[in-house]
Structure 1
Amino acid sequence: MTNNPTPAEELRYLDRELGHLDARRAQLLMRRAWLVAAIGAAAAAPAGPSAAAPAGAAGRRPEARASGVQNTLLVLGGVLLTVAAIAFTLVSWGRMGIVGRSSVLGAVTVAALGAPVLLLRRGLRSTAETVAGIGLALTVLDAYALHRVALPGVPGTEWTAASAAALGALWAGYGLRWRALRLPLPAAVLVVQPALPLWALASAADFPVVAGAIVVTSASGAALALRVTTPALRTTAAVAALTSGLGAVLASGWQAWSATSGPDIAAGAVLLASVAVLAVAVAHASGRPGIALTGALTGGLLAVAALGVVPAKALPGDWPAAGWLLCALALGVTVLLPGTSPLPPGPVRRGLLLASGIVSAGAALWSAPVVAVGLVGPVRNTEDVWSGAGADPLPSPLDARLPDPLVVLLVLGALAVALYGYAVLARRRGGHGPWPSLGALVLAWGAALVLPLTLRLPYWAAVAAYLVLTTVLLALAWFGRPVTAPGPGAAPAVPPFPHPALALAVLTSLSTAFLALAAEVATLTVLALLTTLFAVTCTALRSGAGPAPTAAPVAAVAAFAYGTGLLGAVAASLELGPTGTALLLLVAPTAAVVLAGWLGDDPLTPAVEITGAVAALFAVGVAMSHAPALALVLGLCGVLAGATALRSGRRSVGYAAAALFLLAAWVRLAAWEVGTPEAYTLPVTVPALVVGLLRRRRPGTTSWRAYGPGLAATLLPSLATAWSDPGWPRPLLLGTAALAVTLLGARHRLQAPLALGGATLGLVALHELAPYLVQLAGVLPRWLAPALAGLLLLAVGATYEHRLRDVRRAKDALGRLG
């Protein structure tokens, strides 16, 4: 039966077959092209043994590219020809007449400059570049030869300036006429650079005119670098502009710094301002963000230098620092305030602001030593406490190495105002970073610390100033707005401290406390006020009235610390001695225990407890020199620890309470000159055995864990003492106690009492038998001991297996005990 396909099916079949044929044809054509290439490569290979070399040798590639070899040869040839021309000009010049010399050098120069035209027409561009370079070098020799022969009376500086200008024009025209040559135009830019400064030097102009010529040269190079599009020419112009700009900065700075008269200083300032304007103009015209930022930063720093050089030269002492800062702040205000700067937002503005910030940061660092004197200087009062308020209690900042405090005060105040204004402006524009506000707060705090040094306040006025500053900072921590103000949808930023104002308040309070140590009344008053201030602040922050409730533990620690110091000061004022002082200091840990119990599970509780524990350690340290007082203080500390252990979550403090009670008992016994060790060990043994009896009720608790520590605490020290005791009461009592412990262990089948009691009893018996053994050893002959040892070894060896079985049985029996 024949199945004839439909026309549509047959058409699809034919299309599929034609596709297969096309794919096969393309594969065959690719194979044919590869074979043709292989045959051509084999035909081009040199005949001889190398043609039959193995594939590995034939596959070696040349180490240098053809273009690299060509460029190397051309450059080397050009250098050699240039050297030959220089040698001809300098050495062989005098052997020819003037006509011959001019003809030879002129002809060679014309030939060197005309040959590239013919070489370019033939497509030899690299060779044309080399020959053009030789021609440019020959024009320099022509200028030198012309000066030596035709115009020897012209000064060298003037001739060099004129030659540089003429050669620059000639090379530029040559390069513009034949643009295919890449060398003439960059060379023209380089050769024309010294023309204007040399012309200024040749005309015997003043130094400001020479510096101005360098500035104009730099500006010309910068303008050319911004306008041209050829990479080589743009790079050359940029390098030339940077080099000239650096020279302009050095020349302008030298002019401004070394000048002594008003016009010369003004001229230097104008030159620096010109370079600054040039740098900002280049940054504004550049389309690259990195170049724009760098140029604006450089221009901003130069602008500050230009504006500040006049007050720096005119003002005495340290006042130039204020002048520099005002110039930097003026630059920042000009850039920030709307309507005062024509610059659009972008890298240029950021660069100028960065320049203003760098100068401002430098002024702040310059002021830091005086702030450190105001903060740390009162510590010197610890050398002579309560000696009376002297006429000059504050550290004097009049050292020649320290800046003037009045200038520092003005600098810090201006910085604080400026930074706060920037924070307000940034907040209005959508910025919510905490650092501007934090920086303004720190700068204002530094200015406040410098104020007493500036005014040379008397003692009580200085103490009052420090107290007022501490109060203001605590008020900022309480009522002030938070440093971080997150915007809509933004996560709250975490400040570097629970609250910066509180941190500064703590530092200022420390300086205030040290400053108050000069007088007794000041110490008591200041410590009482600081305790009250920090206690009130802690209460307010804990209640949530302030912006930072997490800062409450810091305020609590400060309040307890100053309260402890107040108690010590009161004790010293009343002359209570070590005992009274230690007992009075215990008021602080007592208050901490009571307050912690009242707070309960509160974030403030750990800080209160830790501070109370530290205060208790101070009390112990004060009582260390008097044993009865130390015993009493340790006992009271144990009571406080036991009261703390009664609260849930503080059960582990009970161990500390037991240790404190034990230490108190031992110290009291030592104070009574008790030397009997049992008096020290029995107070440990009895509670330990009671605790072991309670722990024994738990399943899995062995007798070693329950009774081992308690029994060892008394038996072992007593045993050590009994061995050195020549009397008989202690061994008798210890042996009796060991016998009772052994019998109890056997009665209740307990390992620890049986082992410890039996071992102690045996050692006591050996101690009592020792004198008789010594006497017996003196009577018996000396050969008896080795003989007995030998008989023992024989007996043990003969019954080793039986004895070993007995030892295992004894071990198993002991292991079955509790």
Structure 2
Amino acid sequence: MPANVTGTTLRSMTHIPPPAEELRLLDAELRQLDARRALLLARRAWLVAALRPAPAQPAPQAVPVPRAVPAPQAVPVRRPETTAPGVQNVLLLLGGILLTVAAVAFTVVSWGHLGIAGRALVLGAVTLAALGTPVLLLGRGLRSTAESVAGLGLALTVLDVYALHEVALTDTDGLGYAAIASAVLAVVWAAYGLAVGALHRPAGPRTGTTRAGERTDTTGAGEREATTGVRLPTLPLRLPLPTAVAAAQLPLLLWAAAADAGARTVTAALLVTAAFDALVALRIPVTSVRVVAAVGAYGLGGWGTFAAGWLSWTASGPSAAARAAALLLLAAAIALAAAWHAPKPNAATGLALAGGLITVAALGGVLRPSLPDEWTVPGHLACGMALLAAVRTRLPEPVRRGLAWASGSVQAVAVVWALPLVAIALLGPVGWAEKIWSGAPTSARDAVTTDLPWPADAATAPLVLALVAGVLVVAVRAAAWRPQALTCALTLAWATVLVLPAALELPYVAGLSAQGLTTVAALVCAARAARTQAPPLLLALLTSLGLAFLSLATEGATLTVLAALTVLFAAAAWRPGLGPIAAPASLAYTTALACAAGGSLGWLPQHTALLVLVVPVGAALLAARLNAASVAVPVEVTGAVAGLLAIALTVTDPPMLALVLALCGVIATGTAVREDRRSVGYAAAALFVSATWVRLAAWGIDSPEAYTLPVTVPALLLGVVRRRKDPQVSSWTAYGPGLSATLVPSLFAAWGDAHWSRPLLLGAAALLVTLVGARNRLQAPLVLGGTVLALDALHELAPYIVQVVDALPRWVPPALAGLLLLALGATYEQRIRDARRVREVLGRMD
């Protein structure tokens, strides 16, 4: 006997199960024996094939070569495509459906052919038979069949209720009757399921053995007696209880519809049904029942909560708001009670979050009709802040966490509501850039709403921002979140001060003073902060920008504010860690102050540019004294931007533009003296050349040599110096750019010049360059000078060549070309040697 059979027999001896359980165990053992028998038969077939003798072979003529004989393959066993229980379930399901359809057809179609007694007898007998048969089937261990017949019986009870209405209660209201019928059916089905479980109760512990020999729980779907405190009898039929819970969703809704109840009554019906579902889901330890109840609780509860919220939002008075709030509080109580008893922490946190938000909506909805519109958000915010009191209670940790998240969500929504005012206070002053010194506005609100409208009912936005900032400081105590909370609180406090003058419609000067003090306070916080300097410094910079734009309303305010900001950021730049932002900011405000001072003195923009050049000079001197590259580089970049601004201011005045370019070249040259800034020398050369060209253009000089020679001479000098330091440098690198800068533009000018002076001077210069290249064996001067000399000579001889060509017959040019080709062909080899020698000579040059 197999070992597993022996083990099961011994276990059976220790405890005698009921007949149905014993039958199930025997079926499992027989299935295992069948599988083992099939495996043994397959092995036997393979062994028979392996031991079968091979047929006799004739004697080979030569020595045979040994050859490996493949092992015989195992005989494949055909497996069934489905299991016996699967086939059984399909057949039972189809049978139940067909019987139900037949019962419906009989009730609807053939009902009228029977009398009252016959009808009652047929329906009663069939229904009782369908409901009683599962008890007998369970006694024989046919659980699946019992389930199918029970489903038919439940469907027949619905038909009984329908038939009763059609025969005896035709005058009753359909919806009202359906409400009562659904309640009765829910009770009857639940009682039926429990009664069958009580009748079919096993004698001992409800454990069994699976096909793999593992002991499993057969009590049905997850009993939780220790958690729920509810103990149900054995539930061999899984269909009646979930069906009863599904039917229990209808009575209150159908009753409300039958009574033509209003929206509040329907909402109450939804919420009460959801409360029932939540209770069932938490207290009944059957998985299928909990799933159906949970779906009903979430679905009907969400629908009812949305309806109650809509009633609260559209309430026209305190009385209507109070009634809607009562419905919302009922929904909140359901969510919080479910969170209290939820088995999983995440589910409890989510339910507590929902309950907290619904509570805030309920209490805020009561306050809304009694308060002005601008106090709606602060009222809801106060209710949300009150939820934090639950964090200090003895509620379960998931519930307290959910309420804290609900409070934080309400505060976040309140801050988002106030953000448009912060954006207006921060970006509105930019509009003064188009109306510089047009006059001081009457109030701070007028100062920030130059191009943007002020939102209605937003006067309490500063209060909202301040309250949330205070909550962050007081409530967040965890070490992991404390720095972030303080940073957010600082930002909200800054936003409060930013919008407060406009919200209170303070005078214009008071608004300027408030932003100035905010800038100072932010810089002080940045200076004292050891690690988190960036947020307060960024806030100080943003506030100073808004203050600078606000000051553009009047001349005096502009000069005073820009001067104060220059000094303030200059002082902050010497604090450790603030220099990379504060120093460039100080230089930027110095540049703006220079422009404002020029405008105040009545100077033209090109004259103001000379005053702006003070900033690049100061930036260059300051960067030379700074050791930290993190500060020196931003300072130099700011100075370069100020220099570009000075150049832009002089674009309309070429003489002044030339002067500014030359001064910028001087500043760049001074910077290039430093060892680590040698590359700035190229920018200095470009600035000097640009200044020269602008000056020549201002004088009306159109000769290209006047523009190219100031480039050629320094370039050649630099080439000579470089060749002396590094003799390996090619002449093309040292002298090519300088020579090309003058020879090429002059050649183009000479070809279009009708006079003889330019070609003569160009030819002489090209000849001199060619001779110098030949004398010093330099490739670049020789090639460039010779090429320009040849092209210049060709230009001079071109008129005579044209005259000769016109005088000759037309056949002469082709004939001369032919003779040239014959001559070249005759001396081809010699010409190749000559060309090679010329190439070698040029190759030996530098």
- What is the TM-score normalised by the length of structure 2? 0.84
- Alignment of 1:476 onto 2:476: no
The structural deviation recorded for 1:401 is 8.2
Amino acid at match of 2:341: A
Paired with 1:793 and 1:469, the residues of 2 have a C-alpha distance of 90
Paired with 1:767 and 1:758, the residues of 2 have a C-alpha distance of 14
1:254-653 → structure 2 map (5 Å cutoff) = 254-331=310-387, 333-336=388-391, 338=392, 341-345=393-397, 347-391=398-442, 393-396=446-449, 402-423=455-476, 425-426=477-478, 430-480=479-529, 482-483=531-532, 499-539=534-574, 541=575, 544=576, 549=577, 551-653=578-680
After superposition, give the CA deviation of every residue in 1:217-243 in whole Å (9 maximum; x if it has no partner).
222221221223222122122222223
Q: Give the total of aligned pairs.
A: 747
Amino acid at match of 2:579: A
Question: Could you tell me whether the CA contact under 8 Å between 2:130 and 2:149 is conserved in 1?
Answer: yes
Match of 2:623, SS state, is helix
Paired with 1:103 and 1:176, the residues of 2 have a C-alpha distance of 26
Structure 2 residue aligned with 1:490: none
Amino acid at match of 1:523: T
After superposition, the Cα gap between the structure-2 partners of 1:692 and 1:633, relative to the gap in structure 1 and judged at 3 Å, is: same
Amino acid at match of 1:373: I
The structural deviation recorded for 1:311 is 1.1
After superposition, give the CA deviation of every residue in 1:575-624 in whole Å (9 maximum; x if it has no partner).
22233211100001111011111214443111110100000000000011
The structural deviation recorded for 1:200 is 5.6
Paired with 1:555 and 1:780, the residues of 2 have a C-alpha distance of 82
1:715-730 → structure 2 map (5 Å cutoff) = 715-730=743-758
Paired with 2:399 and 2:45, the residues of 1 have a C-alpha distance of 62
The structural deviation recorded for 1:780 is 2.0
Amino acid at match of 2:302: L
After superposition, the Cα gap between the structure-2 partners of 1:397 and 1:150, relative to the gap in structure 1 and judged at 3 Å, is: farther
Paired with 2:450 and 2:364, the residues of 1 have a C-alpha distance of 26
Paired with 2:689 and 2:389, the residues of 1 have a C-alpha distance of 74
After superposition, the Cα gap between the structure-2 partners of 1:82 and 1:670, relative to the gap in structure 1 and judged at 3 Å, is: same
The structural deviation recorded for 1:757 is 1.4
After superposition, the Cα gap between the structure-2 partners of 1:216 and 1:41, relative to the gap in structure 1 and judged at 3 Å, is: farther
Paired with 1:39 and 1:628, the residues of 2 have a C-alpha distance of 112
1:704-719 → structure 2 map (5 Å cutoff) = 704-719=732-747
Paired with 1:669 and 1:613, the residues of 2 have a C-alpha distance of 25
Structure 1: gaps of 5 or more residues: 1-29, 43-54, 484-497
Question: Could you tell me whether the CA contact under 8 Å between 1:416 and 1:441 is conserved in 2?
Answer: yes
Structure 2: gaps of 5 or more residues: 1-34, 48-72, 197-234
CA RMSD between the two structures: 2.6
The structural deviation recorded for 1:32 is 11
Paired with 1:812 and 1:397, the residues of 2 have a C-alpha distance of 78
The structural deviation recorded for 1:38 is 5.6
Paired with 1:398 and 1:129, the residues of 2 have a C-alpha distance of 75
Paired with 2:116 and 2:278, the residues of 1 have a C-alpha distance of 43
1:618-697 → structure 2 map (5 Å cutoff) = 618-697=645-724
The structural deviation recorded for 1:258 is 4.0
The structural deviation recorded for 1:203 is 6.5
Paired with 2:453 and 2:786, the residues of 1 have a C-alpha distance of 82
Paired with 1:352 and 1:398, the residues of 2 have a C-alpha distance of 42
Amino acid at match of 1:356: S
Question: Could you tell me whether the CA contact under 8 Å between 1:373 and 1:397 is conserved in 2?
Answer: no
Paired with 2:481 and 2:150, the residues of 1 have a C-alpha distance of 62
Question: Could you tell me whether the CA contact under 8 Å between 2:42 and 2:74 is conserved in 1?
Answer: no
Paired with 2:105 and 2:332, the residues of 1 have a C-alpha distance of 45
After superposition, the Cα gap between the structure-2 partners of 1:728 and 1:81, relative to the gap in structure 1 and judged at 3 Å, is: same
Q: 1:162 aligns with which of 152, 159, 180?
A: 180
The structural deviation recorded for 1:377 is 0.9
The structural deviation recorded for 1:469 is 2.0
After superposition, the Cα gap between the structure-2 partners of 1:767 and 1:186, relative to the gap in structure 1 and judged at 3 Å, is: same
After superposition, give the CA deviation of every residue in 1:389-408 in whole Å (9 maximum; x if it has no partner).
13354244999882423121
Structure 1 residue aligned with 2:219: none
Structure 2 residue aligned with 1:220: 276
Amino acid at match of 2:564: L
Amino acid at match of 1:420: V
Paired with 2:299 and 2:38, the residues of 1 have a C-alpha distance of 57
Q: 2:167 aligns with which of 149, 152, 165?
A: 149
Q: 1:740 aligns with which of 745, 768, 776?
A: 768
Paired with 1:288 and 1:95, the residues of 2 have a C-alpha distance of 57
Paired with 1:567 and 1:176, the residues of 2 have a C-alpha distance of 93
After superposition, give the CA deviation of every residue in 1:743-771 in whole Å (9 maximum; x if it has no partner).
11111111111111111222222222222
Amino acid at match of 1:367: A
The structural deviation recorded for 1:295 is 1.0
After superposition, give the CA deviation of every residue in 1:33-60 in whole Å (9 maximum; x if it has no partner).
9544566999xxxxxxxxxxxx999766
After superposition, the Cα gap between the structure-2 partners of 1:260 and 1:570, relative to the gap in structure 1 and judged at 3 Å, is: closer
Structure 1 residue aligned with 2:237: 181
After superposition, give the CA deviation of every residue in 1:550-586 in whole Å (9 maximum; x if it has no partner).
x321111111111100000001111222332111000
After superposition, the Cα gap between the structure-2 partners of 1:136 and 1:401, relative to the gap in structure 1 and judged at 3 Å, is: farther
The structural deviation recorded for 1:213 is 4.0
Is the deviation greater in 558-567 or in 59-68? 59-68
Question: Could you tell me whether the CA contact under 8 Å between 1:588 and 1:615 is conserved in 2?
Answer: yes
After superposition, give the CA deviation of every residue in 1:253-286 in whole Å (9 maximum; x if it has no partner).
3443344353442222122112212212212212
Question: Could you tell me whether the CA contact under 8 Å between 2:46 and 2:75 is conserved in 1?
Answer: no
After superposition, the Cα gap between the structure-2 partners of 1:738 and 1:36, relative to the gap in structure 1 and judged at 3 Å, is: closer
- Alignment of 1:96 onto 2:114: yes
Structure 2 residue aligned with 1:19: none
Paired with 2:428 and 2:113, the residues of 1 have a C-alpha distance of 85
Paired with 1:683 and 1:419, the residues of 2 have a C-alpha distance of 67
The structural deviation recorded for 1:481 is 6.4
Paired with 1:481 and 1:407, the residues of 2 have a C-alpha distance of 34
Paired with 1:770 and 1:243, the residues of 2 have a C-alpha distance of 99
- Alignment of 1:107 onto 2:135: no
After superposition, give the CA deviation of every residue in 1:55-79 in whole Å (9 maximum; x if it has no partner).
9997665544443333223222222
Question: Could you tell me whether the CA contact under 8 Å between 1:397 and 1:453 is conserved in 2?
Answer: no
Question: Could you tell me whether the CA contact under 8 Å between 1:277 and 1:299 is conserved in 2?
Answer: yes
Paired with 1:62 and 1:803, the residues of 2 have a C-alpha distance of 96
The structural deviation recorded for 1:196 is 3.9
After superposition, the Cα gap between the structure-2 partners of 1:564 and 1:816, relative to the gap in structure 1 and judged at 3 Å, is: same
Amino acid at match of 1:143: V
Paired with 2:703 and 2:449, the residues of 1 have a C-alpha distance of 61
Q: 1:244 aligns with which of 294, 300, 303?
A: 300
The structural deviation recorded for 1:195 is 2.5
After superposition, the Cα gap between the structure-2 partners of 1:137 and 1:330, relative to the gap in structure 1 and judged at 3 Å, is: same
Q: Give the share of equivalent positions with the same residue, in percent.
A: 53
Match of 2:676, SS state, is coil
1:29-48 → structure 2 map (5 Å cutoff) = 34-36=39-41
After superposition, the Cα gap between the structure-2 partners of 1:412 and 1:162, relative to the gap in structure 1 and judged at 3 Å, is: same
Paired with 2:753 and 2:303, the residues of 1 have a C-alpha distance of 97
Paired with 1:144 and 1:404, the residues of 2 have a C-alpha distance of 58
Paired with 1:79 and 1:784, the residues of 2 have a C-alpha distance of 113
Paired with 2:776 and 2:42, the residues of 1 have a C-alpha distance of 107
Match of 1:123, SS state, is coil
